[in-house]
Structure 1
Amino acid sequence: MRLALIALPALALALSACDGGGDPVQQALRDASAERHAAALKTTEEQQRQTPAPAPVAPSADLALASALIADHEAAIATARSVLDQSQDPDLRRLAQTTLDTHTTELAELRAWQAGR
């Protein structure tokens, strides 16, 4: 009977240290991992609350951006035409023609988009 009285607290201590019979080292690692994960989530949530949402682009800003693209495309078209007029190099002329074709199409799309606003 005395042995049972001594063994019972030792058994209870062993079981409580194992938290359900698992390896205490593994349990400590799981606990530490859970704490790190919780801290990381808290930090991320705090950063998201502190970071202001990006302001939506105003329609007038979109129109200004489209106008800038139109000016860039017009300049590229003028340069490509100049290269076609002045250059004899077939590779350079091919690149200029590709630029002229691509930018002419894109310029028409930009102007159509701008007109629809």
Structure 2
Amino acid sequence: MTVHRLAVLALSSLLLAACDGGGDPVEQAMREASSRNHAATVKEGTVSGPDSHGADHAVAAAAGPMAGDQAFAASEAEMHRRMAAATGETIDQAYIAKMIAHHQGAVAMAEVALRDSRDPEVRRMAEAVIAAQTREIAEMRAWRPAAAP
């Protein structure tokens, strides 16, 4: 398994963990695929313990972003900029504003994966992220605060 594929799988896992939607079947399928891929990676021996070549990956990460990371740099920076700028008078309004920005970032990263990945499973997951996050953005934009009691 290539370093690029490992980076995409790790990014997918982080994205899914950050956006855990509970019972959403698309997200559940993506979590299961990520778990299967991780298990296969460990079984293949491409993810290693501290006594093998795994330290090489830590050194490379400390040296700077890898090519796979660089592909996402612009979309990550824009997501963080939007999240920092998103505000609301109440915790509810701020949460919705920041989550819309966060989901827009997920869509942008999935679009990078669709543009650059040739792995059918990664492409399928990216398409699922775009569909789910776009639907959730629309749901959050439609949200209105509950009337005060």
**Shorter-chain TM-score: what band?**
0.3 to 0.5
TM-score by length of 1: 0.46
> Normalized per residue, which structure has more helix?
1
